[in-house]
Amino acid sequence: MTNISFEFFPTQTESGTEKLLKVRDRLAQENPEFISVTYGAGGSTRDRTRAIVKAVQESGVAAAPHLSCVGDSKADLREILLDYKEMGIKRIVTLRGDLPSGTGMANSELRYANELVEFIRQETGDHFTLEVAAYPEMHPQADNFENDLKNFERKVKAGADSAITQYFFNADSYFHFVERVQAMGIQIPIIPGIMPITNYSKLARFSDACGAEIPRWIRKQLEAYGDDQASIMKFGEEVVSDLSRKLLEQGAPGIHFYTMNQAEASLAIWNNIK
């Protein structure tokens, strides 16, 4: 059976939360391994993240809160970890985190994800399964691909259990990354992150910001559809379903869907491949 998981981000309104809870209930029917919940720059969504984590956990699906170190003190992080332990959380997605606008890392006691992984291990032992991020097409702020691989190795050696990748649309980039890290002696599962294609302008803007490449042939086809949303959705479903199928057939250990707080697109892809 293929493991799947989903990602949510904290909503800003009460009506948004109500809609997200309906999405949660729909996705829960697929028995996901977990649903992760993002954590804003510098902990800016801390309370809202916690509320969604609690709502997911209470539904019977394992919640996996994101936790970042930039902008939070060790005391803050210790408090969050204790709270999550008391809530019954067993998995954390461990990240450096985005820098809050206009700030640097000078005020952070922990500066990088490997330091956060090490801190969590020191504080809680093996209580949490720790996920870290992987970048098949390189982290956008990395100097080069080789240094990025070394950064990933540091996170694994610090105590990471598995990794979730940034989304991508070129399967070869994933397999190349896995091959490289396995050659370094890294054997943890590396789960592909999958982004459904539902809105080209938003996808292009997001991809440019996070360093995820949209292959030229996909860009050109999406551009050709213009405002024809139905064609964009249909083409996106086909492309991402084919990508997901190829990944699983060639050995990927599961699929992690970046849902953008919507159920339909992720479920369409999942129904095509499961």
What is the model's pTM?
0.94
Q: For the residues of 148-183, what is the DSSP string, one character each?
A: HHHHHHHHHHHT--EEEEEE-S-HHHHHHHHHHHHH
- Domains identified in the chain, total number: 1
**Structural domain of 142:** 3-273
Q: What is the pLDDT of residues 164-208, one digit of tens each?
A: 999 999 999 999 999 999 999 999 999 999 999 999 999 999 998
Query: CATH code at 168?
Result: 3.20.20.220
Of the candidates 14, 92, 19, 15, which has an alpha carbon nearest to the alpha carbon of residue 53? 92
Distance CA 47, CA 45 (A): 6
Distance CA 160, CA 119 (A): 12
Of the listed 7, 131, 137, 237, which one is catalytic?
A: 7
Active site residue 109: no
Q: What is the pLDDT of residues 14-64, one digit of tens each?
A: 899 999 999 999 999 999 999 999 987 655 677 888 999 999 999 999 999
